[in-house]
């Protein structure tokens, strides 16, 4: 690791904090050990609440559960409502610290990604958390014999939707505060809690909520607990996030499914047309071919490049673990790719495959795309480029099921549905408050903290920066192999324990 001016400064301040905080860290750990049965029982109850944000009643039950969690910890939690009932409430709470000069909002989100329960491994239910010996994909077994009161092995995983993303954030923040209080310690900053309920839906109402409750959420810094720690297991501070927008494409052919023999060589096949379109978007070497796609992005600074380089030492291990011979772009590291916008096929579907496939020409074919934005790229402009590219391939773009008149007029009809997007955000790595965060996290770990100019994932942090003028950094808590957004999501227990320590340190940062 080649030291830069910045990293020397951080290393020195980390050392100082480390000595000062040692006994607090031990006290927090002792509190956690004393209460781990209770907090795990409460967490399992939390995970049993379905939390797909589009189910507004379910979402509200999660918000109310968090208010109850806060009450048990002596925090007066409240729901921040949006302008209309079509907004899942955020959960807010505040602890004022006499003499504090900084106000820090601790953020996590309680909603989760949609689930397809049939894709989960045998015995796993997204809404029935269980302990596993290892991830399901690596042969993890359910600990059938465990019952409340039995020892909890920190190597075990807890399964369930949002076990990692991002109920774990709520867990770490609230239990960190609780452990601090029970240790007889107190926070050094004014602590605010903000738990969002629409993050996985694109945080469409976050800006509105911040505007409506501007005075309450006023602060110097937001610390986001979301996303995974580094592949190496080291702790991480992310100084930015990518933006995100989804596009859903549906192409149409005959109104009814057709026998592939009786109509083959005559009726257009929508799956063929869709694959041809998608194949035109990106080449075999991972380069997006859509005109203008890479025009706007801001390259990493030298400091950012150095930080990326220091953190890029686990690609080979990761490839082996994932069963990959080489990355999409051989020679480019995982983290180097974070500099660029992405175009990803999240899923594709037309009729059926395999054992349930029939010899038909399908009626339609559908793909969902995920576009990640980086500093400089604007989501509306990027969507416009994809749409222009589709039009340039001869497609008539519509935003609804085609009418008979449209079917008669256009041979190639595509419905494009675009979600609400948001842009990327990056906080400069050399701000004093950012360095204080790194030092606090470092005080809880014997291994060097990894500093990333941007995470690969997305959070609507740009909204916070633009609406409130507050700085934003992200401190992830969970294991990297958590299957977030997918089937068999899990969190390793030790990462929950370490997350409590991390956030207790952040609440007591100098």
**What one-character-per-residue DSSP string does 459-494 give?**
--HHHHHHHH--EEEE---B-S-S-TTSTT-EEEHH
Phi/psi of residue 78, nearest 5 degrees: -145, 160
Toward a second copy, which CB reaches closer, 78 or 370? 370
Q: How many CB atoms lie within 10 A of CB 29?
A: 18
168 is written with which tokens? 């774990």
The least CB distance from residue 327 to a second copy, in Å, is: 5
Helix axes 56-72, 167-182, angle to 10 degrees: 10
Token representation of residue 277:
């379109």
- CB within 8 Å of 337: residues ≥ 6 apart: 328, 329, 456
CB 228 within 8 A of CB 367: no
Q: Which is nearer to a second copy, 223 or 340 (CB)?
A: 340
Compute CA distances 123 → 117, 235, 259, 488, whole Å. 11, 32, 38, 10
How many Cα neighbours within 13 Å face the side chain of 288?
21
The first and second tokens of residue 368, run together, are 């969902």
Q: Say how many C-beta atoms besides its own lie within 10 A of residue 375's C-beta.
A: 22
Between residues 41 and 322, which has the closer beta carbon with respect to a second copy? 322
Cβ atoms within 10 Å, residue 288: 20
- Comparison of 82 and 457: residue with beta carbon closer to a second copy: 457
Burial of 326 (0-12, 13-18, 19+ CB in 10 A): exposed
Decide whether 289 or 388 has the Cβ nearer to a second copy. 289
Closer residue to a second copy in complex, CB, 264/428: 264
Per the structure block, which two tokens stand in for 274? 């869709």
Provide the minimum distance between the beta carbon of 4 and a second copy in the complex, in angstroms, as a whole number: 25
Nearer to a second copy, 24 or 360 (CB): 360
Beta carbon of residue 102, minimum distance to a second copy (angstroms, whole number): 29
Cβ contacts of 127 within 8 Å, gap of 6 or more: 47, 48, 49, 50, 160, 161
Q: Which CB sits closer to a second copy, 147 or 285?
A: 285
Q: Which is nearer to a second copy, 216 or 282 (CB)?
A: 282
How far apart are CB 71 and a second copy at their closest, in Å?
Answer: 33
d(CA 254, CA 479): 47
The radius of gyration computed from the CA coordinates of the chain, to the nearest angstrom, equals 24
Closer CB to a second copy, 23 or 344, in the complex: 344
Q: How far is the CB of 407 from a second copy (least distance, A)?
A: 4
**Long-range pairs for 255-258: beta carbons < 8 A, 24 or more residues apart:** 255/363, 255/407, 256/363, 257/351, 257/360, 257/361, 257/362, 257/363, 258/360, 258/361
Query: What is the Cα–Cα distance from 43 to 322, expressed in whole angstroms?
Result: 29
Nearer to a second copy, 57 or 404 (CB): 404
Nearer to a second copy, 350 or 508 (CB): 350
- Rounded to the nearest whole angstrom, what is the least distance from the CB of residue 152 to a second copy in the complex? 24
CB of 448 to a second copy, least distance (A): 20
Of the candidates 451, 459, 496, the residue with the CA atom closest to the CA atom of residue 164: 496
Q: How far is the CB of 328 from a second copy (least distance, A)?
A: 5
Cβ atoms of 104 and 437 closer than 8 Å: no
**CA dist., res. 134 & res. 111, Å (int):** 25
Tell me the closest approach of the beta carbon of residue 467 to a second copy, in angstroms: 22
Q: Give the shortest CB-419-to-a second copy separation in angstroms.
A: 10
- DSSP at 254: -
The least CB distance from residue 312 to a second copy, in Å, is: 11
b/e per residue 101-112 (b: at least 16 CB within 10 A): eebbbbbbbbbb
- CB 451 → a second copy: shortest distance, Å? 16
């Amino acid at each position: 690791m080649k030291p830069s001016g910045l990293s020397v400064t951080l290393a020195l301040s980390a050392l100082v904090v480390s000595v000062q905080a040692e006994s607090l860290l031990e006290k927090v750990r002792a509190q956690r050990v004393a209460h781990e049965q209770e907090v795990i029982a409460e967490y399992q109850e939390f995970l049993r609440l379905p939390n797909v944000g589009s189910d507004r009643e379910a979402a509200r039950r999660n918000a109310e559960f968090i208010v109850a969690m806060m009450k048990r910890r002596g925090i007066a939690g409240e729901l921040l409502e949006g302008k209309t009932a079509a907004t899942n409430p955020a959960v807010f709470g505040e602890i004022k610290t006499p003499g504090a000069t900084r106000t820090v909002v601790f953020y996590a989100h309680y909603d989760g990604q949609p689930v397809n329960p049939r894709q989960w491994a045998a015995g796993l239910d997204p809404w029935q958390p269980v302990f596993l010996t290892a991830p399901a994909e690596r042969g993890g077994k359910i600990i059938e014999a465990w019952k409340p009161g039995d020892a909890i092995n920190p190597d075990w995983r807890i399964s369930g939707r949002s076990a990692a993303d991002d109920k774990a954030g709520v867990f770490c923040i609230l239990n960190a505060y609780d452990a601090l209080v029970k240790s007889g310690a107190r926070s050094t900053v004014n602590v605010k809690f903000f738990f969002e309920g629409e993050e996985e839906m694109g945080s469409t109402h976050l800006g509105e909520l911040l505007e409506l409750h501007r005075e309450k959420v006023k602060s110097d810094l937001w610390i986001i607990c979301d996303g995974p720690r580094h592949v190496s297991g080291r702790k991480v501070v992310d100084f930015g996030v990518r933006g995100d927008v989804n596009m859903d494409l549906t192409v149409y052919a005959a109104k009814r499914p057709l026998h592939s023999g009786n109509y083959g060589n005559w009726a257009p096949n929508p799956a063929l047309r869709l694959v041809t379109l998608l194949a035109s978007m990106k080449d075999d070497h991972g380069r997006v071919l859509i005109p203008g796609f890479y025009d706007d992005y801001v390259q990493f600074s030298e400091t950012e490049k150095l930080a990326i380089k220091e953190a890029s030492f686990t690609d080979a291990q990761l490839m082996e673990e994932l069963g990959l011979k080489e990355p999409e772009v051989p020679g480019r590291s995982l983290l180097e790719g974070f500099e660029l916008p992405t175009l990803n096929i999240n899923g594709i579907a037309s009729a059926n495959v395999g054992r349930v496939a029939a010899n038909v020409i399908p009626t339609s074919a559908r793909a969902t795309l995920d576009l990640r934005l980086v500093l400089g790229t604007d989501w509306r402009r990027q969507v416009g480029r994809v749409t222009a590219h589709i039009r340039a391939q001869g497609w008539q773009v519509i935003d609804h099921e085609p009418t008979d008149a449209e079917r008669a007029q256009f041979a190639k009809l595509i419905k494009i549905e675009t979600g609400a997007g948001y842009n990327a955000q990056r906080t400069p790595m050399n701000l004093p408050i950012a360095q204080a965060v790194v030092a606090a996290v470092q005080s809880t770990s014997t291994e060097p903290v990894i500093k990333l100019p941007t995470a690969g994932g997305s959070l609507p942090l740009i909204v916070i920066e633009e609406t409130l003028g507050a700085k934003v950094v992200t401190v992830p808590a969970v294991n990297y192999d958590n299957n977030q957004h997918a089937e068999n999501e899990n969190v390793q227990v030790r990462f929950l324990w370490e997350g409590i320590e991390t956030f207790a340190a952040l609440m007591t940062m100098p």
